[in-house]
Structure 1
Amino acid sequence: MKQALITFIRNPELGKGKTRLAKDSSKEYALEIYIKLLEHTRKVCTQTDAERYVFYADYINAEDEWSTDDFQKRLQLDGGLGEKMKDAFSTVFSEGCDKAIIIGSDCPDISSELIENAFKELNSNDFVIGPSNDGGYYLLGMNTLFSPIFENKTWSAETVLEETVKDISNAGFSIKLLKPLTDVDHLEDVPQKWR
């Protein structure tokens, strides 16, 4: 059983990411917090037993902390988030993976234990989802590519989780929901230890 852990990251550059957090504070602070999120996410990934893929938003950085000893480096497809995620899942399944999980890089409470548990849930479920408190999800896992979950979604809306669950259920697949966690989008989402 070959399992893939896909991580989507933005290249950490001033003014490029965490725009809502930057509005609440400053571009410099938003970048500082995003770098902390990247460090946390990378550590969690390297503690997880899987084929590890990191998909960059803008360009592949060969010299950053995401070592090629630990990660296969790829570039996200151009287009919307749904197209990017569908392409990433398609890539890892075409490379022989039997299960795949995708995470973002903005959830400070994600852990390797949680991801390992999500992989275990895929032994008895077709899909696993980690809901985020804003109505989206911080983790999505599946055993086979099911394209409809990536289509006709408004990705920043609070209906994404609900619509995704409905797509999966209507198709007759089984699904396991993990505990809800918070993504860092606004100032109040930043963990106390990083303030």
Structure 2
Amino acid sequence: MSKVLIIFIKNPVAGKVKTRLAATVGDTTAVEVYKNLLHHTQNITHLMAADKFLFYADFLQREDEWPNEQFIKHLQKGNDLGKRMHHALEQVFLNKYKNVLIIGSDCFELTAAIIEEAYLVLEDKNIVIGPAKNDGCYLLGMKNPQPCLFKNVSWSTSQVLQQTISICTREHLNDCLLPTLTDIDDENDLSVEQKIYFKLKKSAQ
């Protein structure tokens, strides 16, 4: 299979996920939000016609809600997000794959249709980017290894998107932007409906 989807997730441990969100809603609700994000990400990807590689942030969970027969499980390696993504992509490209996408697990707005659109983009473009409203990226895809995309980028800041686009321009990489979506970083990123839902969940505990 030529299509590959890499999914980066964090282990859903209270106090270690969605820390900016937790600052206003508390660790318990923040981890509940993240578990819902994980469920959403699994729901939109598990039936996709692609080889799916799941990369855990802290430790492998062989037996969890991500079926082993659908997701090939690995551990992220590297001391920042760029190094971790680069390492994951290197592993996949060593296996002669092409048309590789990498996504996170922070976006309720991401759909299977948008991911499939990204694969279509790679038929004509070198790079596809899913911009997030916080000026980060919810998706990055490429036909071939592009180590330049992971150098001199201020990861986990509002500069990531513009720096990535600038690298593509400098290196003459033909890129395309997908629709801009909202990553969930803090309470302001939740919709009114989501705020009501998680408030009810919190009060029921």
TM-score, normalised by the number of residues in structure 2: 0.92
Check the 8 A contact 1:49/1:116 in 2, yes or no.
no
Count residues with an aligned counterpart. 195
Aligned to 1:47: 47
Give RMSD over aligned pairs: 1.0
User: In 1, Cα distance between the equivalents of 2:10 and 2:150?
Assistant: 20
Q: Deviations over 1:27-65 (max 9, x none)?
A: 000000000000000111113221001000011101111
User: In 1, Cα distance between the equivalents of 2:173 and 2:123?
Assistant: 13
Q: Does 1:4 align with 2:7?
A: no
Check the 8 A contact 1:48/1:115 in 2, yes or no.
no
Aligned to 1:162: 162
Deviation at 1:70, TM superposition (A): 0.7
Q: Which amino acid aligns with 1:74?
A: H
Aligned to 2:190: 190
Aligned to 1:100: 100
Matches within 5 A, 1:25-104: 25-104=25-104
Check the 8 A contact 1:33/1:194 in 2, yes or no.
no
Check the 8 A contact 1:93/1:144 in 2, yes or no.
yes
Q: Deviations over 1:140-194 (max 9, x none)?
A: 0001111111111221221111111111111111001001000000112123443
Matches within 5 A, 1:141-160: 141-160=141-160
Structure 2: runs of 5+ lacking an equivalent: 196-205
Q: Which amino acid aligns with 2:108?
A: P
Structure 1: runs of 5+ lacking an equivalent: none
User: In 2, Cα distance between the equivalents of 1:33 and 1:3?
Assistant: 30
**Percent sequence identity over aligned pairs:** 38
User: In 1, Cα distance between the equivalents of 2:70 and 2:103?
Assistant: 16
Deviation at 1:69, TM superposition (A): 1.1
Aligned to 1:181: 181
Farther off after superposition, 35-44 or 143-152: 143-152
Q: Which amino acid aligns with 2:48?
A: T
Check the 8 A contact 2:12/2:31 in 1, yes or no.
yes
User: In 1, Cα distance between the equivalents of 2:192 and 2:5?
Assistant: 28
TM-score, normalised by the number of residues in structure 1: 0.97
